[in-house]
Amino acid sequence: MTLKGARLLGDCHAVFAPPPFEQTFARFLQGKPVLVPFDYYFEEILGKITQFLEEGDVAFLIPGDLTFYSPFQALVDTLGEKAEVVPGVGTANAASAQLKKTLDLPGVSNRAILASPRTLGDAENAPTLQELAAPGVTLLIYMNNIPLPQLVAQLKSGYGKNVPIAIAHRLGLPGEEIVTGDLGDIVGKVGQRDFFNLDGKDRRPALTLVVVGETLAAKVDGTWWDYRRENIWKHRN
């Protein structure tokens, strides 16, 4: 969370927070009504917000922020000027930090693609993950609903070779697990763990991000640094 987010959350009157954020941010929420946003249909939640606004500001504590795959756009659009969006730390940022890897690396990866098989499945002519996976691509897969062996088979076919992969589960939350490997060994390393909630009764996407691409295992020496020093940063008279 940013400092601005923390200040607004501390000062607000009521909070909507899906689990587990009411626990992880409990110290900002003391004494405030805390509700789960998805317990309400849209008109109902608008009514609740209007009611709470009579007492003070209302905050939504959401995973990451609005940037990618946020279900909160309809609320922001409907509330118009009344809504303020505060940037936060998204899953892509948290994963990069945890893996200690930049997701594009000159000479190794020249583009990062964010995708989800759930939303790709919505459109008729949308590309498959296999079509998005290619040498030079770092792929970030949100809300995966494909069993891991099948996902790995699609990725192998797209990349045309074995590449590194990381499965980041509950980043920054209690129960965090990060499994790193490559397309050849990741299925064995994950074993029976249901990181994507494919066996669960509810249909909620698991808090798991898949990151794939050569940048995850690339080692970088100081050559590029010195090139930049020489050609970009050096003082010229």
Ligand X SMILES: C[S@@+](CC[C@H](N)C(=O)[O-])C[C@H]1O[C@@H](n2cnc3c(N)ncnc32)[C@H](O)[C@@H]1O
* List of residues contacting ligand X (CB under 6 A): 63-65, 67-70, 90-91, 142-143, 168, 170-173, 205-209
CB of 98 to ligand X, least distance (A): 9
CA distance 186 to 193: 12
> Are 60 and 34 within 8 A, CB to CB?
no
Question: Which C-beta is closer to ligand X: that of 109 or that of 116?
Answer: 116
CB of 56 to ligand X, least distance (A): 26
Indicate left, alpha or beta for 219 from its phi (over 0: left) and psi (-120 to 50: alpha).
beta
CB of 66 to ligand X, least distance (A): 7
Question: Which C-beta is closer to ligand X: that of 135 or that of 172?
Answer: 172
Using DSSP's 3-state secondary structure scheme, residue 6 falls into helix
Question: Which C-beta is closer to ligand X: that of 15 or that of 114?
Answer: 114
Question: Which C-beta is closer to ligand X: that of 14 or that of 207?
Answer: 207
Question: Which C-beta is closer to ligand X: that of 65 or that of 108?
Answer: 65
Q: What are 157-161's contacts with CB under 8 Å, separation 24+?
A: 157/130, 157/133, 158/129, 158/130, 158/131, 158/132, 158/133, 158/134, 159/133, 159/134, 159/135, 159/183, 159/212, 160/134, 160/135, 161/135
Element (H, E) at 227: helix 223-228
CB of 72 to ligand X, least distance (A): 9
Chain residue whose CB lies nearest ligand X: 64
CB of 140 to ligand X, least distance (A): 9
